Amino acid sequence: MRPFGGSSGIISAFDSVPVMQMRLMPIFLLLVCQSAAAELPDWSGVWQRVEGNGGMFDVSTTEPPDGRAGSPGARQHPPLTERWEAKYRANLALVAVDRLPDPISRCGTPAGFPRLLALPDVYEFIVRPEQTWIITENGPNILRIYTDGRSHPPAEEMWPTFTGDSVGRWDQDVLSFTTIGMIGESQTVLDRSGMVLSDQATVATRMSLTDEGLLRAELEIDDPLALTETWHVVRHFRRMPHGTKAYDYACAENNRNPITDAGQTLTLDTEGKVIDKVIEDD
Amino acid sequence: MIRTAFLVASLLLASFADAHHSSAMFDKNRVVEITATVTEFQWTNPHVWIEINIANEDGQEEAWSIEGLGPNSLFRNGWRPNSFKAGDVIEIRFNPMHDGSNAGGFIGAKFSDGRTLGRWD
């Protein structure tokens, strides 16, 4: 009796060892994947951003140092071109009168990359040999980082998206990836201070655990339209206590703060009627 | 016009800086502390809402809507879907709206049994 059965002539033509090899192949591949996964770092659990400042993207250049994104007068200092400094100043002026149209306040579109590395609430980093997912509770957002050896798609197969296209590789415990194809200023901001990049931006990111157990993300951002030189940004994440859970974030579930075309944030009562006594014309 | 409103240092601070929308409608330089009766607690995204009745200067009840952060972060800080119940009589602190409308940004609450939520120190 053959150990793995098979009674047809076709099967029996492959008899014995070749058949065993074929049938054991899935087990072999599983072991290979498990082995590869075992070599990857442990980024399990639930994490929270370390740098706060109300989501200010680059806290190292924030002025004043404790300035919060969205607070009048608070800004950061990326190496902006003259034209994009003017764009930033225009948005800062809108912040000063509470009229900056932050896209995510409308509960319709994701924050996108790289802003998704500066969000409140919690994060999960799902590491697999072929792909890593960064999942943000707030939004939610998903950044898919392919580490299976593929390259970015050819230009004719890409279009601007909120998270763009990320491919990278593991070098021991360091995940390096590049992201291109982000939608830029047309539908995203980097933070509520009004910082924006163009759709020509590229981001090179390196992520690894520090000796203190923080997850560190070092970003090198280039943008031929917006930046005069590479913008270096570092952000960290702290692992939350074991058992911490992430939950649904459904922004449109009960959004009682619609935004007018003029950029004014309104407040609705339980019946959906506007509470605000002063509503500016659009 | 509600009965009690006084000026103290800003207490809204960090919390609403992470709201899904601008918090500029709230007057961070004014804090209202007042007795209120809960009429409804909306444990929903993107913000929880504490619906309350407050007696005005004429002793008449006015409906107010007090906005909190999102349920996910609040849950991780000890809040629960039943933290407030209709009929609860509470002391509540909030930053009122600049334009005087009947809404505010939650700061803290103290229950009749002495429990507190948010900032109450």
Q: What angle do CA B4, B7, B13 make, to 5 degrees?
A: 115
Q: How far apart are the two ends of chain A, measured CA to CA in Å? A: 83
DSSP B5-52: -EE-S---HHHHHTSSS--TTB-TTEEEEEEEEEEEEE--SS--EEEE
| Contacts for B48 with CB less than 8 Å, ≥ 6 apart | B41, B42, B67, B68, B69, B70, B71, B74, B79
Asked if A257 lies within 8 A of B21 by C-beta distance, the reply is yes
Using a CB–CB cut-off of 8 Å, the residues of B that contact A are 14, 17-18, 20-25, 40, 42, 44-47, 49, 51, 63, 65, 67, 70-73, 75-76, 97, 99-103
Residue A151 has pLDDT above 60, yes or no: yes
Q: Which two tokens stand for residue A240?
A: 């939350």
Q: Scanning every residue of chain B, which has its alpha carbon at the shortest distance from the alpha carbon of A249?
A: B45
Q: What is the pLDDT of residue A144?
A: 98
Q: Please, which residues bridge with residue B6 across strands?
A: B31
pLDDT of residue B19: 79
Contact A251 B20 (CB under 8 A): yes
User: CATH fold of B6-118, please?
Assistant: OB fold (Dihydrolipoamide Acetyltransferase, E2P) (2.40.50)
Q: How far apart are CA A94 and CA A57, in angstroms?
A: 18
pLDDT in tens, A215-226: 999 999 999 999
Question: Cα angle at A193 between A191 and A198, to 5 degrees?
Answer: 60
Chain A residues lying within 8 Å of B72, measured CB to CB: 121-122, 137, 246-249
Structural domain boundaries in chain B: 6-118
Show the low-confidence residues of chain B (pLDDT under 50): 1, 4-14
Look at residue A18 in the predicted model and tell me its pLDDT: 56
> In A, which residues are within 8 Å of B17 by CB distance?
52-55, 68-71
Contact A276 B44 (CB under 8 A): no
Enumerate the residues of chain A whose CB falls inside 8 A of the CB of residue B75.
247
Q: Which of B17, B72, B76 sits opposite A70 (nearest CB)?
A: B17
Selection from B25, B15, B8, B21 nearest residue B102 by Cα: B25
Give the C-alpha separation, A92 to A189, whole Å: 12
A6: burial class by Cβ within 10 Å (0-12, 13-18, 19+)? middle
Q: Identify the residue among A56, A256, A265 best suited for mutation to test binding to B, counting B beta carbons within 10 A and taking the highest.
A: A256
Structure-token pair, residue B21? 């929308």
Single out the residue of B103, B95, B82 nearest to residue B14, CA to CA: B95
Q: Tell me which residue has tokens 């830029």.
A: A184
A60/A78 Cα distance (integer angstroms):
10
Q: How confident is the model at residue A39 (pLDDT cuts 50, 70, 90)?
A: confident
Say what the pLDDT of residue A14 is.
Answer: 43
Q: What is the mean pLDDT of residues A106-130?
A: 96
Mean of pLDDT values over A52-69: 92
The first and second tokens of residue B101, run together, are 């409308």
Which residues in B lie closer than 8 A to residue A275 (C-beta atoms)?
65, 97, 101-103
Cβ separation B97–A276 shorter than 8 A: yes
**A33 has a pLDDT exceeding 90:** no
Share of chain A above pLDDT 70, in %: 86
Contact check, Cβ <8 Å, A55/B18 = yes
User: From A275, which residue of chain B is nearest by alpha-carbon distance?
Assistant: B101
CB-based contact B21 A105, cutoff 8 Å = yes
Q: What is the pLDDT of residue B1?
A: 46
Separation between Cα atoms, residue A49 and residue A125, nearest integer Å: 12
- Convert the pLDDT of each residue in B76-110 to its tens digit: 999 999 999 999 999 999 999 999 999 999 999 99
Q: How far apart are the first and last CA of chain B?
A: 26
Residue A106 has pLDDT above 90, yes or no: yes
CA neighbours within 13 Å on the CB side: how many for A64? Answer: 5
ipTM: 0.88
- Please tell me if residue A219 touches chain B, with a CB cutoff of 8 Å: no
Nearest CA to CA, how far is B40 from chain A (Å)? Answer: 9
Tell me the sheet residues that pair with A207: A175, A217
pLDDT digits (tens, 9 = 90+) for A71-98: 999 999 999 999 999 999 999 999 999 9
> What's this model's pTM, rounded to 2 decimal places?
0.86
Task: Please give the structure tokens belonging to residue A162.
Answer: 């909120």
Residue A277 touches chain B, beta carbons under 8 Å: yes
Is B65 in Cβ contact with A276 (below 8 Å)?
no
Average pLDDT estimate for A166-190: 97
Q: Give Cα separations from B77 to A11, A137, A269 (angstroms).
A: 62, 16, 26
Contact state of B67 with A278 under an 8 Å Cβ cutoff: no
Q: How many residues does chain A have?
A: 282
Mark yes or no for CB contact B25/A267 under 8 Å.
yes
